[in-house]
Structures are given as structure tokens and as C-alpha cells.
């Protein structure tokens, strides 16, 4: 009986020692996981749709190209799907016709990645280099409050999502 | 016991770790000698060295505090941004949104203050026991180790001082302003030292990054190197000074009883006429124990106790954070860190006017007096002519006079610090602790 | 010491370890039960009661913050004030109440955060420290707690101070009636005669362009009763400048507490703030704190006209000299147009003697604030004699 008690006290002592140390060390580890984010915005409000320039505009804050074709708007992310470099818009002097997904499409511009030579057609489809998939398309919407155009990185959309105002 | 044979050599658990319950003297010795973490300890220690009453374990406590400071400091380095624009904000974030951030910072701050206090107490203990004196061993150089200790004290102060600026609040900014302006009054080099330390004439981004690098890398590295040397010298000097004392008193006994011979010594080495030969005169059966487990366990206990104490007080004593630093507005009163407050107090009372000649208090109180004190402190072992019978003895009669002078000086410093900390209010006016300070104005 | 004592170390190690465990557990209890978690679960309960289970489910727990990069501000108020943009909680108790929508439409939270208007400490995550009524935080919540101390005649006016951080150069800011009133007073009372405001004005009084940046330590509270604060100092000073700082030549304008508080809010809003240009209002009133052509003309006449001497010396702060076209804002002293005979009747000595040996208030003013050389004193008499001649002429013509 006496031995049991001694055994119990020993276990209690060693147990509390290990638990207390584990608890203290955990505070150091836990403190390195941030609870709040200071990262930049994922949602950018632009001007009214009719004040957006025709053609292509690059929005620095969210690394996205926004396109206007008359009353139609769409946006393609400039982040290369390979390793995240920012792809460059390259206007073609002569439009070319390529086959994308079995359909023949006329392409007036391309995106080239400066890092590892990935190349994308105007709609973001990858055709050369290491990029594993097409560039992401980004949601474009009209703000219900003031009618301005909003580009929202948080909302993924399928390729060829276009907004007509 | 699990045994694995590798290339014919026995690899046991014991050769990888160490045993808490050695079954023989050899095993006990192996636990120390063959262990990286413990190899700098002796295999056997005297009971006197292990006792609470002789060393008070102040050095171990200090080293533990330094370990806590290193660990929490590394965590804080991940969270703190050393830039004038972001520093204050990042400290606010540590206080409010980082999980346990306030606690880690409180531990760091409290350990820092405690470390300054314990380095000082350790020094007082060494002085009062005459432990900076050589005893009977050959090759001892305790005075040198004392000087290393004094340098460690100065570095500890400077470490704490450089850390003081980092939160970039009013407390930090003005404490460093007052502190560095005291340095400015050093003759000839003062102005230059301040300029190099701050990287300019003002406390700005340059000063912040310099203090940061000094605080996080340069000074801790210096402490680590000097600490290693400090410990190594203790071994070279034959352990704590109380061992010499023990040997001396044993010698008399043994001459009576006849010498006992031993096959091993404290180090396991007996070649040459070294310290160890002399110390092996000790009756080991009676006065020593194996380091494993007794020394190691007690070190572990002191470390654990120190750690738990720091954790406990950090729950109640939080690290302060005042308004963001504002070079245009001096808070009233502006105080240096507490361990420099005795200097600030001296500075305030030692401006000497003889006719038209004014001797600035910052020079007398801030440079001359502490400078002389530190130099005296460093060379004292060479001035202390007492015999080696007073080595490693508390309050030896032979050293009574110097002990009293030393204690009086320590007492004066402590009194000045207490006055500076608790009894100086706005405009550096004197207030008794029970007197309320005048209400400080707020914006709203 | 003997060896048996050393064996007791084991027990002590266990005891200390147990203590360590207890302390660690206490710490973790605190970690798992912060104040804001209480508010968040209360909010969830409130929403499920008022708006249904479905809506309550959408509430996510955790620390929330608004980070405004442009202003380098971070506000965590919404961690507890969770209902700020919910519909249907307009009448909920604080901290769950919906924020009035109109003002948020013009000042989106993502661009402004909370504390730039409301004050308080955005970093903090507990009520006391977030509302900022603590040591070492100088921007408390501009709300009910402060209004209970300073008792402005109207409620919810204190935070108008912060409107003026961006709306500084407006003449009229919709919704900020105290600030608007104060700006009107600045024009009417001619503060710029003595003070520089927004970089424009006189040099008799201190430059007020960045008055709001002055720290509490920079004021003298020895003649202020009660609570010592910059705000209280300004209010008392506007009501009675001489009582607060006896050396001041600033005239007493007879302000009541509405005027004094409005002006205090205005002066304290004059801070040096780095604002990106888009934060200044893009209306026709932007950068409107410019003098009108009439004001410029009048000022020119005063400074260059016959009475220029009195304007430059600062006499016009208290005295009008109507015949020279000088109009004092404060009108504390008598019009100096007929000083020549007025001095005789008031003090029983000639103007010349009075200037040399003034009595009463003027002895203080001429002794400490407006120091005149002997030749200037002669000039004063000459000019005022000329003014009197003009005055007589006017009197005669008006009689006919």
C-alpha cells in the first residue's frame, strides 16, 4: 500500500513535469501561428462600367487583367499556374487562329510567363512551357450599392465567365 | 537492458543517454564524461558545493534566466518588426492578438529584470565568500574568472538596456535618451560612443536597428562565449572556492590520521601536480557524492524552480507598453531603466559648482563614480591581501573590513535605486511612497 | 549537509513541477476564455433569437480586424461589435447594434476602419483597453463616457472632432454641426487676426495650424479646477482666456459652453496627419478654407491703410478705429477714433501723458505685451490726433 502511494506520487510528479513543460513549449509554437491577417485586399472596386477603358487593363493590387469588349467584361488572373510569377500580356501584331478544346478560335493576344517560359492563349489556355493548367478566371460583378465594377479574387469562376452590362 | 551490436561494439541505451541510477562508480563517472550536455561537470562534487547555503545557486539561476531569455527571445524575434513605423504596432499585436504573446513578452521582460538582479547577487555572494581568491591548487586563476564575471555583469546591463528601446514607446524612447546622454559625458570618447551607438545624433531608425542587432545577436553571443569560459575556468580552478577551504581543513586532520590513497580523483585524472591532486586529499567517502544523479538533479531542480517562478510572476506582472515614442514630448518624469536609476540619481545630485567652474553631474555621477567603482571591482582580487584561509568562506574574519565596505557600497546603490524608482515623481521631485503624485494630465 | 538531504530533492522536484502544472493550467484557462469569446457567443444567441437559427449559423468565431493599409491603422472593434453591418439589428443593444448605414455608405469600413472616427484603441481585444480609458492611451472612445464628463449641450457631438481630420478644409461638412459652427465662429470673430490657422493668419498669437498635436504635458493646468485634460483646458480657455493664462492678451469673447466645446473640438482636430489625397472630400468645398475676395480686400485695407500701425502692433485686437476702417473682432476696448477726447474724460490726463504713463488695463498691456519705443509713442499720438480730426469731420457732416 505504501509502495503504491509512492508510485502514484512519482507518476504524478513526472506527469506534471512533462505536462507543464509541454504546455509551456506549446505557447511558443502556438504564438507563431497568426490569428489575424495583414494581407492585401482580395476585392477591388473599379469605376463605373462605362468608364473602364476598352481592351485590356492591368489591376496591380490583385494581379489581374480585366478586359472590356463593348458591354462585356471579364477578368483573367495574371498569376502563372506553374509557380506564381506574374504573366505578361503580349499583343499579337497578326491575329492567329488556334484550336482550343476542339474549337477554332482567333487569338489576338497571349500571356507569357517570364520565369519558366510558360505560354497561354488569350483566354488563358496553356499551350507551352511547364504550366499545368489554364490561367484562372476571376469574378467580375457590378456592386449593388453604387453600380461600380468589382473584381473579386475570392470567387473562382469557370473559364469564359463573362459579364454583360 | 537493450543492447545492439554494431561492428562488434556494444551500443547500449546507456551509452546514448545517461543513467539516473548508476550501479557503480564507473557508471556514474561515465554518465558525466561521455555526455555532451554534462561533460563540463565534474564526476564527483563535494557536499558543500551542493549545499543551498554556500553558493545559494545564484549562478545557476542566472544561467537559467539567460536560457529562458534566449528561448522567449527567439520567439519574439519572429513576431517583432525592428522598424520605426512598425515596431510599436508589432508589440501591440504581440500584446493583443498573438496567442500567448503577452505572456511570452512578460516572461522575457521579467526574466531580463531578474537576470540583472541575480547577476548582481551572484557577484555579491562571490565577494562575501572570498571566492575570487585562489586557494591551494596549482594553476588556479580565480581573479581572472572574477574579471570575466564583472564583464558579464556589464554585458547583462547592456543587453537589458538595448532591449529597452525595442518596443518604441515613450518609456523606451526616453529611457534610452537619458541613458545615452549619460554616456555622452564621458571625456573625449563619450560623444563619439553615443554617435556610433545611435548611428547618428538622434534616436531614430539607425539607433533602433543597431540596438536590435546588439540585443538579438552580438551581446547574447558575447554572453555565451564568456559564460562558457566562466564555467571552464571553474573546472580549471578546481571547482567552487569552498573546496579549497575543505581541503585546507582536511589537511590538518589527515596529517593526524595518515594519508589515504585513492585510485581516482574528481576528474578521473591524477597525472601531474595539479589542482586535482590536491583536491584528491579530500576524504571522498565522507565529503563527496557522484554528480549523477545528485548534482544534475539539483541543477534541474533550480532550473525548474526558476522557470516556474518566472511563469508564475509573468501571470501577474505584465510588460509595460506606453504611448508610441514621441521625440517632441518628454513624459514627466522620464526615468532610465531601474538598474541605471542610481546613476540618474547621482547625476541629479552631483553637479558641482566652484565659482564659475561647473562640473557636470553627468560626468561625476554618470561616468566618474561608476567608472571608478567598476575598475575597483575588477581589480579588487589583486588588492585583497588576505590569506587563502579566507577563500570560500562566508564573512571570513580576515576580510571583515572589506566585506563591510563592499556591503555599504551595495546598500547605497540599492537605496539610490529604490529612491529613483519609487520616490521620484514629476520634475524629479521627492515623494514618499505613500504620498500621491500630482495628477498627470490626459488629452481627454 | 549529509547525503540523505540530497535524496529529498526528488520530492521537491515533483512538488515544483506540480506547481508549474497548476500555473500553466491557470494560464490556459485564461487563453480559452477571453472576453471577446463571451461577446461572440452572446451575439450568436441573440441573432438566433431575433433572426433565426439559420442566420446565427453563418457567424464565424475568431478575432476579426479591419486593416486599412493606406492609413496604417488596424481596428479589431468588430470582434465584439459583430452586428455592425447586419440588417435587422438596428435596435439591438450594444455591442451588437447595426451601424447607421448612411454614414458607412460614404465612409466604407474597409477604407476607414473604426477608430479614425470614433477614437479608442483599435489594437485591443478587451472592452476597457479598446475603449481606451486607460493609462498610456490618449485617444479614448469619443462617446458617452466622455460626454458624461464634459457635458456638451448636445449629445453625440464629440466624435465630430475626427470628421475634421479629413474635412479640415471644408467650410461646411454635412452632419458635423459643431465643427461647422466653430468654423463660422473662427470667421466671425476674426481669429486669424492674431493666429495662423491652416498656414494663414497673424503672428500675435501662437500658430494653431497643428494645435491638436500638442501633448497634455505642454499645457499649464495650475488654474484649471477639476479634471486636468487638454480638452478641459481648451474649454476653460475659450470661456475665459485670462483666467487660464493671465499673461494672455486673447480677448474674452463671451463664449458659452456650446461655443467653447465647438471651438475646442475644432482646435483639437488640427493635427498633422498623413492622408492619401483620396481621403480629402472631392466636393466643391474641398480646400475651401481660403479667404473670399472681400476678406482679402478688407485685410489689405486694414494692413496698408492709414491705421496700418495699429494693425501691425496688434492694438486692433481689442480696439476698433472706425475712421481708419479698422474693425476689431473682439471689441473689448473702446473705439480709438475719438481717443483724444475720450482719454481725457476717462483718465483725466492728455493722450500724450496717458501713453507715457498708462493706468489700469493699458498699463499691463503696454508694459508687457505691446512695447512701444519713444518715437512710436509720438507716432501713436500723431496718428490718433489725425483720427480725431477725421472723426470730428464725420460728426459734423452727419449732423448736417
Domain ranges of chain A: 1-33, 43-164
B98 close contact with A: CB closer than 8 A: yes
Question: What pLDDT was estimated at residue B264?
Answer: 42
Could you read off the pLDDT of B13-33 as tens digits, one per residue? 555 566 777 888 888 888 888
Q: Say which residue, B64 or C278, is predicted with more confidence.
A: B64
CATH number for the domain including C189? Answer: 1.10.760
Question: Structural domain tally of chain C?
Answer: 3
In a domain, C37, yes or no: no
B287 close contact with C: CB closer than 8 A: no
Same domain, C215 and C305: no
The pair phi, psi for residue C393, each rounded to 5°, is -60, -45
Question: What pLDDT was estimated at residue B282?
Answer: 64
Q: Which three cell numbers stand for residue B73?
A: 527571445
Beta bridge partners of B46: B288
In a domain, C31, yes or no: no
Nearest beta carbon to residue A30 from set B78, B100, B308: B100
The last residue of a domain, from among C114, C141, C168: C141
Global pTM? 0.86
Pick from A17, A21, A24, A35 the residue to mutate for testing the B interface (most B CBs within 10 Å): A24
Buried b (16+ CB within 10 A) or exposed e, C80-95: bbbbbebeebeebeeb
Same domain, C223 and C250: yes
A154 close contact with C: CB closer than 8 A: no
Q: Could you give the percent of chain A with pLDDT greater than 90? A: 43
Write out the residue range of the structural domain in which residue C356 sits. Answer: 293-399
Q: Domain A43-164 is in which class?
A: mainly beta
Decide: C229 and C214 in contact? Cβ < 8 Å: no
Chain C, nearest residue to A19 by Cα: C21
Nearest beta carbon to residue C140 from set B320, B439, B444: B444
Q: Is the pLDDT of residue B260 over 80?
A: no
In a domain, C14, yes or no: no
Q: Say which residue, C72 or B12, is predicted with more confidence.
A: C72
Contact A27 B99 (CB under 8 A): yes
Contact B440 C216 (CB under 8 A): yes
In a domain, C7, yes or no: no
Could you read off the pLDDT of C52-95 as tens digits, one per residue? 888 888 888 999 999 998 888 999 999 999 988 888 888 888 88
**Inter-chain CB pairs, B–C, below 8 Å:** 114
User: Once rounded to an integer, what is the mean pLDDT over residues B338-347?
Assistant: 87
B425 close contact with C: CB closer than 8 A: no
Question: What pLDDT was estimated at residue B31?
Answer: 80
Q: Which chains touch C (3 or more CB pairs under 8 A)?
A: A, B
- Please, what is the average pLDDT of chain C? 86
Same domain, C246 and C325: no
Question: Structural domain tally of chain B?
Answer: 1
What is the distance between the alpha carbons of residues B81 and B168, in angstroms, rounded to a whole number?
A: 11
CATH number for the domain including B241? Answer: 1.20.810.10
A10 close contact with C: CB closer than 8 A: yes
Cβ neighbours of C110 in A, within 8 Å: 41
Same domain, C300 and C330: yes
Q: What's the gap in Å between the CA of B10 and the closest CA on chain C?
A: 32
B327 close contact with C: CB closer than 8 A: no
Could you read off the pLDDT of B56-73 as tens digits, one per residue? 999 999 999 999 999 999
Q: ipTM strictly over 0.90?
A: no
The last residue of a domain, from among C106, C141, C176: C141
Total residue length of chain B: 444
Decide: B201 and B193 in contact? Cβ < 8 Å: no
Question: What pLDDT was estimated at residue A2?
Answer: 61
List the single range of B37-46, B144-153, C76-85, C262-271 with lowest mean pLDDT. B37-46
In a domain, B166, yes or no: yes
User: Once rounded to an integer, what is the mean pLDDT over residues A150-156?
Assistant: 83
Write out the residue range of the structural domain in which residue B371 sits. Answer: 47-428
Sequence-ordered list of residues with C-beta below 8 angstroms from that of B176, at least 6 positions apart, any chain: B161, B164, B165, B203, B207, B211
What is the distance between the alpha carbons of residues C142 and C158, in angstroms, rounded to a whole number?
A: 6
Question: What pLDDT was estimated at residue B4?
Answer: 45
Contact C14 A9 (CB under 8 A): yes
For residue B222, the 8-state DSSP code is H
Same domain, C80 and C170: no
Question: What pLDDT was estimated at residue B259?
Answer: 45
Could you read off the pLDDT of A62-94 as tens digits, one per residue? 899 999 988 899 999 999 999 999 999 998 888
Q: Which chains touch A (3 or more CB pairs under 8 A)?
A: B, C
Same domain, C197 and C273: yes
Question: What pLDDT was estimated at residue B15?
Answer: 53
In a domain, B284, yes or no: yes
Buried b (16+ CB within 10 A) or exposed e, B389-428: bbbbbeebeebeebbeebeeebeebeebbeebeeebbeee
Amino acid at each position: 500500500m505504501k509502495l503504491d502511494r509512492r508510485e502514484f506520487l512519482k507518476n504524478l510528479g513526472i506527469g506534471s513535469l512533462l505536462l507543464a513543460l509541454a504546455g509551456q513549449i506549446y505557447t511558443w509554437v502556438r504564438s507563431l501561428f497568426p490569428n489575424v491577417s495583414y494581407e492585401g485586399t482580395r476585392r477591388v472596386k473599379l469605376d463605373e462600367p462605362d468608364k473602364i477603358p476598352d481592351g485590356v487593363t492591368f489591376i496591380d493590387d490583385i494581379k489581374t487583367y480585366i478586359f472590356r469588349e463593348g458591354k462585356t467584361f471579364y477578368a483573367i488572373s495574371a498569376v502563372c499556374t506553374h509557380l506564381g510569377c506574374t504573366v505578361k500580356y503580349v499583343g499579337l501584331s497578326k491575329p492567329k487562329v488556334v484550336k482550343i478544346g476542339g474549337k477554332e478560335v482567333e487569338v489576338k493576344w497571349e500571356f507569357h510567363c517570364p520565369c519558366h517560359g510558360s505560354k497561354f492563349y488569350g483566354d488563358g489556355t496553356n499551350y507551352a512551357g511547364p504550366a499545368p493548367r489554364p490561367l484562372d478566371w476571376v469574378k467580375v460583378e457590378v456592386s449593388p450599392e453604387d453600380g461600380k465594377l468589382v473584381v473579386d479574387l475570392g470567387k473562382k469562376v469557370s473559364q469564359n465567365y463573362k459579364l454583360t452590362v | 537492458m537493450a543492447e545492439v551490436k554494431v561492428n562488434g561494439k556494444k551500443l547500449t541505451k546507456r551509452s546514448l543517454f545517461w543513467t539516473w541510477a548508476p550501479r557503480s562508480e564507473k557508471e556514474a563517472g561515465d554518465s558525466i564524461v561521455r555526455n555532451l550536455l554534462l561533460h563540463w561537470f565534474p564526476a564527483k562534487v563535494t557536499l558543500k558545493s551542493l549545499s543551498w547555503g554556500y553558493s545559494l545557486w545564484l549562478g545557476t539561476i542566472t544561467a537559467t534566466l539567460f536560457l529562458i531569455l534566449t528561448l522567449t527571445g527567439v520567439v519574439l524575434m519572429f513576431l517583432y518588426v525592428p522598424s520605426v513605423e512598425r515596431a510599436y504596432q508589432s508589440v501591440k499585436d504581440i500584446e493583443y492578438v498573438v496567442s500567448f504573446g503577452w505572456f511570452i513578452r512578460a516572461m522575457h521582460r521579467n526574466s531580463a529584470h531578474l537576470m540583472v538582479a541575480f547577476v548582481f547577487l551572484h557577484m555579491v555572494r562571490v565577494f562575501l565568500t572570498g571566492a575570487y581568491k585562489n586557494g591551494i591548487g596549482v594553476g588556479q586563476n580565480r581573479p581572472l574568472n572574477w574579471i570575466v564575471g564583472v564583464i558579464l555583469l556589464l554585458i547583462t546591463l547592456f543587453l537589458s538596456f538595448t532591449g529597452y528601446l525595442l518596443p518604441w514607446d515613450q518609456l523606451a524612447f526616453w529611457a534610452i535618451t537619458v541613458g545615452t546622454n549619460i554616456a555622452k559625458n564621458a571625456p573625449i570618447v563619450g560623444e563619439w560612443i553615443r554617435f556610433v551607438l545611435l548611428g547618428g545624433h538622434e534616436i531614430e531608425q539607425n539607433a533602433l536597428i543597431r540596438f536590435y542587432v546588439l540585443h538579438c545577436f552580438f551581446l547574447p553571443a558575447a554572453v555565451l562565449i564568456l559564460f562558457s569560459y566562466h564555467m571552464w575556468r571553474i573546472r580549471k580552478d578546481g571547482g567552487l572556492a569552498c573546496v579549497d577551504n575543505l581541503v585546507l581543513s582536511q589537511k590538518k586532520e589527515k596529517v593526524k590520521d595518515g594519508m589515504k590513497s585513492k585510485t581516482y580523483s574528481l576528474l578521473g585524472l591524477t597525472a601531474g601536480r595539479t589542482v586535482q591532486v590536491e583536491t584528491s586529499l579530500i576524504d571522498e567517502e565522507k565529503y563527496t557524492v557522484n554528480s549523477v544523479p545528485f548534482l544534475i538533479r539539483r541543477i534541474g531542480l533550480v532550473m525548474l524552480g526558476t522557470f516556474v517562478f518566472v511563469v508564475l510572476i509573468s501571470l501577474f506582472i505584465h510588460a509595460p507598453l506606453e504611448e508610441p515614442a514621441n521625440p517632441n514630448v518628454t513624459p514627466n518624469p522620464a526615468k532610465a531603466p531601474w538598474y541605471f536609476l542610481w546613476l540618474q540619481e547621482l547625476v541629479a545630485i552631483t553637479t558641482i559648482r566652484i565659482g564659475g567652474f561647473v562640473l557636470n553631474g553627468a560626468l561625476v555621477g554618470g561616468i566618474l563614480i561608476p567608472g571608478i567603482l567598476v575598475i575597483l571591482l575588477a581589480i579588487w582580487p589583486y588588492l585583497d591581501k588576505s590569506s587563502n584561509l579566507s577563500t570560500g568562506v562566508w564573512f571570513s574574519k580576515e576580510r571583515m573590513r572589506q566585506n563591510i565596505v563592499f556591503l555599504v557600497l551595495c546598500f547605497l546603490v540599492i537605496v539610490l535605486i529604490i529612491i529613483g524608482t519609487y520616490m521620484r515623481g514629476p520634475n524629479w521631485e521627492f515623494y514618499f511612497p505613500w504620498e500621491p503624485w500630482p495628477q498627470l494630465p490626459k488629452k481627454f | 549537509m549529509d547525503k540523505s538531504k540530497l535524496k529529498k530533492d526528488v520530492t521537491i522536484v515533483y512538488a515544483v513541477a506540480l506547481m508549474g502544472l497548476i500555473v500553466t493550467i491557470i494560464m490556459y484557462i485564461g487563453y480559452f476564455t477571453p472576453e471577446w469569446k463571451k461577446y461572440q457567443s452572446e451575439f450568436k444567441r441573440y441573432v438566433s433569437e431575433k433572426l433565426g437559427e439559420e442566420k446565427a449559423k453563418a457567424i464565424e468565431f475568431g478575432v476579426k480586424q479591419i486593416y486599412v493599409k493606406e492609413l496604417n491603422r488596424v481596428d479589431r472593434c468588430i470582434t465584439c461589435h459583430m452586428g455592425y453591418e447586419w440588417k435587422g439589428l438596428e435596435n439591438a443593444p450594444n455591442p451588437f447594434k447595426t451601424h447607421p448605414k448612411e454614414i458607412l455608405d460614404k465612409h466604407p469600413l474597409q477604407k476607414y476602419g473604426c477608430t479614425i472616427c470614433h477614437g479608442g484603441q483599435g489594437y485591443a481585444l478587451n472592452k476597457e483597453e479598446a475603449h481606451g480609458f486607460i493609462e498610456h492611451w490618449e485617444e479614448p472612445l469619443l462617446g458617452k463616457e466622455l460626454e458624461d464628463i464634459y457635458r456638451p449641450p448636445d449629445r453625440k457631438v464629440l466624435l465630430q472632432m475626427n470628421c475634421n481630420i479629413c474635412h479640415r478644409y471644408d467650410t461646411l461638412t454635412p452632419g458635423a454641426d459643431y465643427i461647422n459652427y466653430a468654423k463660422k465662429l473662427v470667421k466671425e470673430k476674426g481669429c486669424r487676426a492674431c493666429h495662423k490657422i491652416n498656414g494663414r493668419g497673424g503672428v500675435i498669437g501662437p500658430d494653431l495650424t497643428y494645435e491638436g498635436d500638442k501633448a497634455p504635458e505642454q499645457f499649464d493646468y495650475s488654474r484649471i479646477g477639476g479634471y486636468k485634460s487638454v480638452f478641459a483646458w481648451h474649454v476653460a480657455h475659450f470661456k475665459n482666456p485670462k483666467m487660464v493664462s493671465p499673461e494672455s492678451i486673447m480677448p474674452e469673447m463671451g463664449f458659452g459652453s456650446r461655443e467653447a466645446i465647438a471651438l475646442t473640438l475644432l482646435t483639437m482636430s488640427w493635427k498633422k496627419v498623413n492622408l492619401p489625397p483620396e481621403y480629402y472630400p472631392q466636393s466643391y468645398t474641398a480646400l475651401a478654407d481660403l479667404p473670399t475676395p472681400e476678406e482679402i480686400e478688407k485685410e489689405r485695407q486694414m494692413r496698408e491703410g492709414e491705421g496700418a500701425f495699429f494693425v501691425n502692433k496688434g492694438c486692433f485686437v481689442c480696439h476698433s478705429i472706425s475712421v481708419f476702417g479698422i474693425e476689431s473682432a473682439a471689441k473689448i476696448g473702446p473705439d480709438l477714433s475719438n481717443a483724444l477726447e475720450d482719454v481725457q474724460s476717462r483718465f483725466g490726463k492728455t493722450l500724450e501723458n496717458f501713453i507715457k504713463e498708462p493706468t489700469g488695463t493699458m498699463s499691463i498691456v503696454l508694459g508687457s505685451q505691446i512695447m512701444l519705443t519713444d518715437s512710436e509713442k509720438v507716432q501713436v499720438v500723431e496718428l490718433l490726433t489725425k483720427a480725431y480730426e477725421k472723426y470730428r469731420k464725420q460728426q459734423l457732416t452727419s449732423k448736417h
